[in-house]
Amino acid sequence: MKTVIDLNADAGESFGRWKLGDDAALLPQVSSVNVACGWHAGDPGTMRRSVELAVSNGVALGAHPGFPDLAGFGRRAMAMSPAEAADACLYQYGALRAFAAEAGTHVAHVKPHGALYGLTLRDPDVAAAVAGSVATADPDVLLVLLAGPTAQGVIDAGHRVAREAFADLDYDDNGHIIIEPVPEAKDPEVCAQQAIDVLNGGVTSVNGKAIDVDADTICLHGDRPNSPDIARAIRARFDEHGVRTAAMHDVVASRY
């Protein structure tokens, strides 16, 4: 079993007067946060507050760029060429980077959101283009991709990648995550057990197939109604097994 892992959360997804998630309760439980950058969710004020919340909790800050689809929360498929996807990620990363600089911190990683994340799984050229754009902006920034062939291909091309697994999403028989259009509450203990399964090197698909997983970071979603409870259950299970959480850069340091 792995004894050191990053625990990340997608957050900062409120918009104007509309509040989504309980980031104040969630962020103290994680070691990295992926902040929405205004296309699928978030707005400038929310981004600023999310950066401040990350700094106050000592949480590594990451950009969470998505499709320009506020109504669909970035979870509806769109067509983008590799160059368009790279530009979309770079544009949104740059917006968060400005807020980070003002707060005296930096953006440590970039993680595509929702259907854009799914596009990196289906199209290796998109994954490569996004990795190249991120590396050009800052060679030290990690790109977060699904653990497995997608992440490994980008690593083999010489890019810095954090391999991600999920505690609160199901997997299909191909090892791909099943993205829910509208996340519902999940049993925290079931999610905690899946996190432990990841540390032990694998998860079980919805059809009972064993899927090998070698991950640097485990994700949970801030828009799930009971995400803070899930995070607390995962941390409690980690404590039981002597597992320590650390930011992505620390977890992957031996590879880079």
Domain boundaries, the chain: 4-255
Structural class in CATH, domain 4-255: alpha beta
pLDDT of residue 180: 85
Within the chain, how many helices (H) and strands (E) appear? Answer: 9, 10
Residue type, 246: A
| pLDDT (0 to 100) of residue 225 | 96
Please, what's the b/e burial string for 182-197 (b: 16 or more CB within 10 A of its CB; e: otherwise)?
A: ebeebebeebbebbbb
State how far the Cα of 124 lies from the Cα of 37, in Å rounded to an integer: 23
User: What pLDDT, on the 0 to 100 scale, is given for residue 254?
Assistant: 84
pLDDT given for residue 111 in this prediction? 98
* For helices 188-199 and 227-240, angle between their N-to-C axes, nearest 10 degrees: 50
User: pLDDT tens digits for the chain (256 residues)?
Assistant: 999 999 999 999 999 999 999 999 999 999 999 999 999 999 999 999 999 999 999 999 999 999 999 999 999 999 999 999 999 999 999 999 999 999 999 999 999 999 999 999 999 999 999 999 999 999 999 999 999 999 999 999 999 999 999 999 999 999 999 988 888 999 999 999 999 999 999 999 999 999 999 999 999 999 999 999 999 999 999 999 999 999 999 999 988 8
Give the distance, in angstroms, between the CA of residue 171 and the centroid of all CA atoms in the same chain.
16
Q: For residues 74 and 41, is the Cβ–Cβ distance under 8 A?
A: yes
Whether 217 and 162 have beta carbons less than 8 Å apart is answered as yes
Q: Helical H runs in 21-159? A: 23-26, 44-57, 82-102, 114-122, 124-137, 149-156
Quick one: which of 78, 53, 50, 52 has its CA closest to 64?
A: 50
Question: End-to-end distance of the chain based on CA atoms, in angstroms?
Answer: 22
Q: What is the pLDDT of residue 208?
A: 97
Q: What pLDDT, on a 0 to 100 scale, did the predictor assign at position 59? A: 98
Contact 71, 44 (CB under 8 A): no
